[in-house]
Structure 1
Amino acid sequence: MFHFSEIKSHPDLPLESHLSQVAEIALEILKNKKIDFNEFGISESCVQDLVKMTALLHDIGKSTTFFQKRLSTGYKFPNGEHQHSGLSSIIAYKPLIDYCVNNNIDKYIALAPIIAIKFHHSEFSNSVNILPNDYSMEKRIENFYKCILELPLLQSIGLSVNEFPPSPLEIDCEIEDLLSEFSNCLPEKKMQFNILTLFIYSLLLEADKAYLAVSDKDLYNRRAIKINRNAVDDYKIVKFTDSKTEVNKTREKAYCEVINQLDNTDLKNHIYSLTLPTGMGKTLLSASWALKLRDKIEAENGFIPKIIVALPFLSIIEQSSNDYEDFLGRPKEDIFLKTHSLSSLEFKDYEHNTAEFFINIWNSQVIMTTFDQLLYAFLSFKPKSLMRFHNLMNCIIIMDEIQALPPHLWDPFSNFINEITKIGNSYLLVMSATMPHIIDNAVELVPTQKDNQLEKGPERYFEKLSRYKLILKHKNLQNITEFIENLKSNLKNVDENKIMIVLNTRDSAKKVYEGLKKYSNGRDLYFLSSYVIPKKRLERINQINESKNALVVTTQCIEAGVDIDMDYVIRDFGPLDSIIQVAGRCNREGLKNTKNVKIIRLYDPNFKSNFNPSGEFNRMVYDNLSLDATLKILDVEGEEVLENKVFGLAKKYFFELKRKDLGASRTKCLLDLSHEYIKNGKNFKFDIRRELRGDLKQYNLIVENFAPELRKEIENILSANVDRWEKRRNLKAIANKISVNSISVNAYKFDPEEIAKKGKGNFYFLNPEYYDEEIGFNYVTPSNSYIV
């Protein structure tokens, strides 16, 4: 006969100890959070009780002969009898329901902890899979060690030996009734339920791993660390000694206007926007605002929030992180943590498991990450990502270049983030030179002032700019071959020293570059594309900045996050926000007279198809919604549009987009827990990665031409006599080296082994003949394949 002390959760850990530890950690994290579910009818003490019950019940299903044998021998039962999360949720059902009834809480609220328990070892699933019963459940119940129910901790939350065994079939039926009750709730209630579920789930996930991942228990803490609120101001004094140019004066004016009004900020407003032209120093301004707001929140609300900086591209992260590291004084990772797919797994020289765990839970004061990782934290279904969700409570989120968020995610993003910031006492700042109307209640940080008897906000900064003007030549389609021929004869007549031609596809950019090789008229010729490995792209960008006479042919990879300054730009037609982003690379510092940004519209008759009848390159990469909105806005303009008119055009453009369906069906499917929506008559499962990246499969191909030692390094790591986790960590250590020597190919019906050799660990090494030193990846796509 087993005694409950003999029942294990892990090889060297009694189940009772594990449950107690997880409850202790989850409650400790919760104690440091200031959250408010009162509108949902759930008090602070009720949230605390639900979190405690979830933690104490999450692994109760391990108390079976099957799981204990699996733990001691490694034997995996063929029908999954050793699995425990479903049984845990069945045993948890009655005490959770009783708690809701006894505390006058809607019974469907019990589903939140039940879902957290059911999926704490698997992907967060839809309502169909919430039902915990399966064909092995009766066996598990028959082989359950009931002595675990004698634990005082478990009896204190309503478990009793006398009420065992439960009836899985009855519980399934009752859960279906609760789901039916939930389906009749208003959207606001459904959203609050989703936030509560994600919050409990994320607390459980972190607490479940904490003492197992952190060898030295004293290292694990979630206490906030103070940061000098004037760190950016002090940095600016040292860094920027010359502020005499007009652009620098304008930057400083904007900085002072925003910062000086911060003391009067009403903390009841949770969402803010910062709309300023490109080159106005938004990175440092937003950082200073966040540090000072952090101080204000501590003084008025009694807690110190994290700062989470989310950026759309890795290239921007590398530039912005340098600024943050500088003004924070080159801090350790517990102060500033840069985390993305290529970042290292180092954290304060801690051992590997501890370091990786702290990185995964964002255990830092300032976190810099990607849009993807931020969105995964509340729109993904994967435990590793959702474990971070509670970090979104009591934090300040900065999202730069917010226009990079795909329009079909505007509705789910705005709905979720509004509720997260309200319940979680968090604050969001979105920034852009072309601010989309994503969140209607955002408070603009650039103050409104009287200008010529008119009240004006951000437009004051746009109306005084004359760095460039748009020359609109997009109304007439132009064959790309004719475009190249015209350039050949006209380039010699262009007086500007630094010219940039921006194309929509890599193939069209390659065609223009090849056509102009002998006609650059003495200028240094450069080619930029994501088909050029990042290491070489960065080298070329540095060369372009140093060059006095340059002709650059590029794709849209220079739209955001690339700091270059050109004299004349030609841009193939695209969405208005993309056009404006590219225009921001023309006469960036405003040191010259007004320069031209010419907008054309190219097509290739060979690319006409049912999908793209016109053969336009813009239709190959952008959605019709944004292209048609841009045409509607620009077609009523004259041939020239000065920079000071761009702000008004952007407002019209995003208003036009807002009138369309921007993901409401996606929001609905997340709220009702179905996770499926209908688009164009077809059913789609919501998958945030696909929503961000599209349906094409991505292949990463390593280019050995510039790193011949990489293959051997990878093979040595994968062949080493160490466990898989050590191999993974060692691969992560060279991830950046792999990345800067790789290209990504998004393709359909494409076999990478036709052009690359498959190495150990599913790494593909591009055959040398398919990489050209000038244009990068050089491959003619077969007619039955599709590569973007």
Structure 2
Amino acid sequence: MYYAHSNGSNLDDWQLLIDHLKNVANIASDLGKDINLSSQARTIGLYHDVGKYSEAFQKRLHGSSTRVDHATAGAIELKNLMNKANPVIGTIFAFCILGHHGGLPDYGSPIDDLSENTLCARLKRKENLEDYNAYRSEMEEIKIHDLINIRLNPITKSGAFSISFLTRMLYSMLVEADFLDTETFMKIEEKPRGEYDEIDDLVRIYNQFIKQFEQPQTFLHRTRTKILKECLEASRQKPGLFSLTVPTGGGKTYSSMAFALNHALLNNLKRIIYVIPYTSIIEQNAALFKGILGFQNVLEHHSNFDWKQSMDFEQSDDEELSTKLKLASENWDIPVVVTTNVQFFESLFSNKPSRSRKVHNLAQSVIIFDEVQMLPREFIKPCVYSVAELVMNYSSTAIFCTATQPIIENFLPEKVKRPIELVKNPQQLYKDLKRVDIISLGKVTDDELTDWLNHYSEILCIVNTRKHAKGLFSRLQMENRYHLSTLMCAVHRREVLKKINSHLKNDEVCRLVSTQLIEAGVDIDFPVGFRALAGLDSIIQAAGRVNRENKNDKGMLFVFEPDSPCIKRIPAYIQQGADVARKILRDFAEDPTSLDAVHAYFKELYDLHDPTISFDRENIIGCFEKPGVMDAEFDFRTAAEKFHLIDNATKSIIVPYSDKVYELLDEVKISLKPRKFLRDLQPYTVNIFEQEFNALQNLGKIDVYNDTVFVLNDFKHFYSDQTGLIVPDDNSETAILL
């Protein structure tokens, strides 16, 4: 008897290896069925653990401490099996099996040493592996012609990036199937997965909710209703690539979800994935969708998420619901996911099994990219390429939503058509919804700016660096003054926004100085705003926080060029955007928020850059597309190491903003599985750059838990209830700018 997993000392409780292989094959086959990859996924599942047939591995299950490479055997067998018929498909299968524990490797080179961890090196190890041929007596024969079917032909002929993406899809199905079968066998705890409402039920609920908008009373609401109806009408189209270009305050959140749900129902798509640029703004959209569609149907997945806090009072003790949502975060097997650019794209380019589990669930989905202009310029090409793959080859729909639409077609593969606009006349919408005049002030000193800010009783000021924000905040009159930046933990920011909205609702004095985190998607409405010169997209987003509900005839946004001792220098990417915006503000002075102005801005901005490097700075696509290469010579590991939308040179510090933090830290110290508690601590973290971290550490203000968890130990003196974490000698303008 050959076993896959042990469970106690009684062999009757162990899982037979052939049962595990067949289970994984069947689960993977089922996962691949709807996108016609069933036979390929099944084969990979069947072969993934044949190395466990070795005597050495069976001894390990019985207590031997000798490490055994059990993944290489199946990769070698399938590669050899496919070499004559289709070597590229053989390499795809080998990648998946080799990576199902340690992660997808780099291809390497045929001259690689056996000790290296590349695909080429590991495929040469057969003579070094323990004999595993016993698998032949228990496994059925593979029919090669079933593996080279009509489904694979267009993908394998459409280019290397497409083949690499196919590899990721099959890999995702394998690791998901392996996780699920192992989880079922181990039965560590009953796993309450699935059992969500169907898409047709969610469509009925949502369409009933939006009926309240059918009889609008004001011009603004009539325009929003028009946008909503046009999105509903457009939902009848076949899956594809779309844009939703709507001015700020045009109701694109409601409208895009209306399109997505109805489009999913009509095209038999499985889920909606709503992708947002910042964790700082995700809570309000997630809360909105949970309130309409039900907490149990909506997964909020990002780094600052607290499962218990996300549920309402009656549900806060529902352990099964909380557990179900946590499990759904592993694979996104839920009708609606609200997530971030970082979580979405870094999962797509990850080589690790845990993050790759969700990738197959991106197929047959409607994916909404809110504030798409916030995609980092230096990664925009690989991001757009991956979205195009989901649309072209995996029956998904993608919608790029924003008031400031970048020229996405510049970054699409040649064979992909430009996005189809969901609304009929965006140009007219921009004229109809113009609620703010933008006025350029030129250079303004901090003294002059302070006089302006204190002159108005309700005022918003957005600047480019957190040091400038802190300096201006200290100059405001004391009554109801507020500050927002990422030096404040997420829980703190949430509390401040709640207070601000209360003041504005009651027409009370309220002055806010913020970094740009306030701009994208935050539902807030000041009558007057000031914006430090930046990119035109940032200026227009800032204007979207002014006169948002059209309570005044015209709001005013003053754009100024700061002359401040708080600013040593401006980072290059902000300076470039500001330089182009200065020209656009001059050339389109009558209406710099118009579509023509936005198009001119992005065209000039893109023309400043070398297109071969600036939009794929780390050459991610080059990890997969290599001139003159015949095999699937992909560098998955290298791409994963390079693909980070947020600079990795930061450290996370936990700040004890509430007593709950100490309770969770106590659990971290004693728990065998501290990850659960670390996840609950995320809303209390602040990210700072290494030099700032070192300054705090040198002062002895950081405690270390479990070697990797850093906690501020002097909250009283180094965390302000107004401005957040106090960083000594904070001269780093290029640090966290939000």
Q: TM-score, normalised by structure 2?
A: 0.83
Amino acid at match of 2:23: Q
1:174 corresponds to which residue? none
1:246 corresponds to which residue? 219
Q: How many residues in Structure 1 have an aligned counterpart in Structure 2?
A: 674
2:208 is the counterpart of 1:234: yes
Amino acid at match of 1:374: F
Query: Is contact 1:696–1:748 with CA below 8 Å preserved after alignment?
Result: no
2:10 corresponds to which residue? none
- SS across alignment from 2:217: coil
CA distance in structure 1 between the partners assigned to 2:731 and 2:533 by the alignment: 26
2:138 corresponds to which residue? 151
Amino acid at match of 1:125: P
Task: Select between 388-397 and 657-666 the one with higher mean Cα deviation.
Answer: 657-666
CA distance in structure 2 between the partners assigned to 1:131 and 1:729 by the alignment: 34
Q: CA deviation at 1:289?
A: 1.0
Computed over aligned residues only, the root mean square deviation of the Cα atoms, in angstroms, reads: 3.3
1:416 corresponds to which residue? 386
Deviation by residue 1:315-361 (Cα, 9 ceiling, x = unmatched): 43211122212222x252xx332222244569985599876544311
2:217 is the counterpart of 1:273: no
* 1:175-254 matched pairs, under 5 angstroms: 188-214=158-184, 215=187, 225-228=198-201, 229-237=203-211, 243-254=216-227
1:585 corresponds to which residue? 545
Deviation by residue 1:404-426 (Cα, 9 ceiling, x = unmatched): 11112221122222122111111
CA distance in structure 2 between the partners assigned to 1:91 and 1:502 by the alignment: 60
Q: CA deviation at 1:536?
A: 3.1
- Structure 1 residues 710 and 688: CA distance shift in structure 2, 3 A: same
1:177 corresponds to which residue? none
Amino acid at match of 1:278: T
Q: CA deviation at 1:191?
A: 2.2
Query: Is contact 2:107–2:120 with CA below 8 Å preserved after alignment?
Result: no
Query: Is contact 2:220–2:433 with CA below 8 Å preserved after alignment?
Result: no
Higher relative contact order (CA 8 A, sep 6+): 2
- Structure 1 residues 509 and 689: CA distance shift in structure 2, 3 A: farther
1:175 corresponds to which residue? none
2:585 corresponds to which residue? 634
- SS across alignment from 2:437: strand
CA distance in structure 2 between the partners assigned to 1:786 and 1:445 by the alignment: 37
1:775 corresponds to which residue? 723
Query: Is contact 2:527–2:546 with CA below 8 Å preserved after alignment?
Result: yes
1:711 corresponds to which residue? 662
Deviation by residue 1:85-118 (Cα, 9 ceiling, x = unmatched): 22331233212324xx1xxxx4222111110011
Deviation by residue 1:108-141 (Cα, 9 ceiling, x = unmatched): 2211111001111112222215435469946753
1:75 corresponds to which residue? 65
Q: CA deviation at 1:217?
A: 9.5
1:384 corresponds to which residue? 354
Deviation by residue 1:511-530 (Cα, 9 ceiling, x = unmatched): 1222x24xx3x853222222
2:292 is the counterpart of 1:327: yes
1:620 corresponds to which residue? 571
2:92 corresponds to which residue? 112
2:438 is the counterpart of 1:470: yes
Q: CA deviation at 1:241?
A: 9.0
- SS across alignment from 2:624: helix
1:8 corresponds to which residue? 4
Task: Select between 692-701 and 129-138 the one with higher mean Cα deviation.
Answer: 129-138
Deviation by residue 1:726-745 (Cα, 9 ceiling, x = unmatched): x433444xx1xx34443221
- SS across alignment from 2:438: strand
CA distance in structure 2 between the partners assigned to 1:241 and 1:193 by the alignment: 47
Q: CA deviation at 1:782?
A: 7.0
- Structure 1 residues 647 and 242: CA distance shift in structure 2, 3 A: same
Larger radius of gyration: 1
Match of residue 524, structure 1, among 464, 477, 480: 480
Match of residue 93, structure 1, among 76, 79, 86: 79
2:21 corresponds to which residue? 19
Q: CA deviation at 1:540?
A: 2.5
Q: CA deviation at 1:605?
A: 6.2
2:119 is the counterpart of 1:131: yes
Query: Is contact 1:748–1:785 with CA below 8 Å preserved after alignment?
Result: no
Amino acid at match of 2:534: G
- Structure 1 residues 635 and 696: CA distance shift in structure 2, 3 A: farther
2:365 is the counterpart of 1:366: no
CA distance in structure 2 between the partners assigned to 1:782 and 1:545 by the alignment: 30
CA distance in structure 2 between the partners assigned to 1:627 and 1:676 by the alignment: 37
Deviation by residue 1:39-74 (Cα, 9 ceiling, x = unmatched): xxxxx5xx4433222111111112223322322215
CA distance in structure 1 between the partners assigned to 2:398 and 2:168 by the alignment: 19
CA distance in structure 2 between the partners assigned to 1:136 and 1:351 by the alignment: 48
- Structure 1 residues 692 and 88: CA distance shift in structure 2, 3 A: same
Unaligned segments of structure 2, at least 5 residues? 8-13, 109-116, 145-154, 312-317, 411-416, 627-631
CA distance in structure 2 between the partners assigned to 1:351 and 1:606 by the alignment: 48
CA distance in structure 1 between the partners assigned to 2:321 and 2:248 by the alignment: 42
2:613 is the counterpart of 1:669: no
2:653 corresponds to which residue? 700
Deviation by residue 1:614-636 (Cα, 9 ceiling, x = unmatched): x44xx237355434433443343
Deviation by residue 1:639-696 (Cα, 9 ceiling, x = unmatched): xx446x432211111223444425354323233477789xxxxxx9544775311242
Amino acid at match of 1:545: N
Task: Select between 538-547 and 360-369 the one with higher mean Cα deviation.
Answer: 538-547
CA distance in structure 1 between the partners assigned to 2:597 and 2:713 by the alignment: 44
* 1:755-770 matched pairs, under 5 angstroms: 755=699, 756-761=701-706, 762-768=709-715, 769-770=717-718
CA distance in structure 1 between the partners assigned to 2:469 and 2:529 by the alignment: 14
- Structure 1 residues 314 and 351: CA distance shift in structure 2, 3 A: closer
Query: Is contact 1:701–1:743 with CA below 8 Å preserved after alignment?
Result: yes
2:498 is the counterpart of 1:507: no
Deviation by residue 1:365-402 (Cα, 9 ceiling, x = unmatched): 22222222211232222222222111121111111111
CA distance in structure 2 between the partners assigned to 1:390 and 1:255 by the alignment: 30
Amino acid at match of 2:724: G
CA distance in structure 1 between the partners assigned to 2:122 and 2:29 by the alignment: 32
Unaligned segments of structure 1, at least 5 residues? 36-43, 159-184, 299-303, 449-456, 608-614, 678-683
Query: Is contact 1:472–1:599 with CA below 8 Å preserved after alignment?
Result: yes
* 1:303-322 matched pairs, under 5 angstroms: 304-322=269-287
CA distance in structure 2 between the partners assigned to 1:675 and 1:148 by the alignment: 29
CA distance in structure 2 between the partners assigned to 1:93 and 1:65 by the alignment: 23
1:541 corresponds to which residue? 497
- Structure 1 residues 505 and 753: CA distance shift in structure 2, 3 A: same
Q: TM-score, normalised by structure 1?
A: 0.78
